[in-house]
Amino acid sequence: MIAIFSKFRIGMLPIYLMLAILTGSISLVSCTKDDELEIQNDFPFEVNVMPIPKEVANGQTVEIRVTIKRSGNYQNTQYYLRYFQFDGQGSLRYYDEPPYLPNDLYPLQSEQFRLYYTSASTVSQSLEVWISDSFGNEKQISFQFNSSD
C-alpha cells in the first residue's frame, strides 16, 4: 500500500513543480511598477445660489450668497471667480474688498461666500459669473435685474 502511494506521489511531482512555477510567475508579473495607484484629484462641482431680488434701484446693493458643492474632496483644489456685465452698469465685490474688474480672475478664499452687486444704472442689468477650479472645471451663473427706478 505504501509503495502505491510513493509511486503516486512521485508521479505528481511534475504537476506540483509546474504549479509552483505558474504561481511564482503570476506573482512576479502582478507586482510590476506599471500598475501604480492612481489618485483622483479632479472632481466636478456644482454652484448653489440663494434666491436674490429681481429688481434693483440705482445705487442699491444686492447680496448674492454662493456655495460650491464638491462631488469629491481634494484639499489642494483652488477656486477662482471672474465676471462680465453685458447689460447696464454696476459693480461686483467680494465682502468688503474693492470691486472686481470684469474678466479678471480672482481667487476665492472659501467654498461658501457672499458677493455684493451694486447697481449704477436705471435700466435692466445682466451679468454672468464664472467659477472655476484649478483643474479647468467651470460653472457659469447668470443674473438679471430689472430696474425699480
What is the domain partition of the chain in residue ranges?
Answer: 43-143
95's grid cell: 465682502
User: Using an 8 Å Cβ cutoff, are 93 and 100 in contact?
Assistant: yes
| Residue the block writes with cell 477662482 | 80
Q: Is the pLDDT of residue 91 over 90?
A: yes
Q: Is the pLDDT of residue 80 over 90?
A: yes
The pLDDT assigned to 12 comes to 66
User: Using an 8 Å Cβ cutoff, are 53 and 33 in contact?
Assistant: no
Instruction: For residue range 105-142, list pLDDT tens digits in order.
Output: 999 999 999 999 999 999 999 999 999 998 888 999 99
Instruction: For residue range 23-59, list pLDDT tens digits in order.
Output: 777 776 666 555 566 665 567 899 999 999 999 999 9
Mean pLDDT score of the chain, rounded to an integer? 85
DSSP code string of 54-84: SEE-TT-EEEEEEEEEESS--TT--EEEEEE
User: Using an 8 Å Cβ cutoff, are 88 and 126 in contact?
Assistant: yes
Alpha-carbon Rg for the chain, nearest whole angstrom, is 32
Q: Is the pLDDT of residue 5 over 60?
A: no
Assigned superfamily of 43-143: Uncharacterised protein PF12988, DUF3872 (2.60.40.2410)
The pLDDT assigned to 42 comes to 65
Average pLDDT over residues 85-100: 93
The pLDDT assigned to 71 comes to 81
Instruction: Give the span between the Cα atoms of 8 and 16, in whole angstroms.
Output: 12
